Amino acid sequence: MPRIIIDTDKCKNCGICMAVCPNHLIGESDTANKFGVVTAEFKDKDNKCTGCAMCAISCPEIAIKEVLR
């Protein structure tokens, strides 16, 4: 199953990945990164990620990578 990894040091929580995910699997994290930014977090507990990579394609900071499990 596909999944994504978000580089929290690069993420600036712009919200674009959250908006483009067709299954709404990305949300705001409960914690801040080392820069004090509350980043995006992959929240796919039911393996609903289709691997479309819309989040990675649209990330202006290139902070998201799609990987296969």
- Return the DSSP state at 47: -
Domains of the chain: 2-68 (3.30.70.20)
Average pLDDT taken over every residue of the chain: 95
Q: Supply the pLDDT for residue 50.
A: 94
CA 16 vs. chain centroid, Å, equals 9
Phi, psi of 67 (to 5 degrees): -130, 160
H or E segment at 26? strand 26-32
- Return the DSSP state at 36: S
Hey, what amino acid is at 37?
A: V
pLDDT-derived band at 53 (thresholds 50, 70, 90) equals: very high
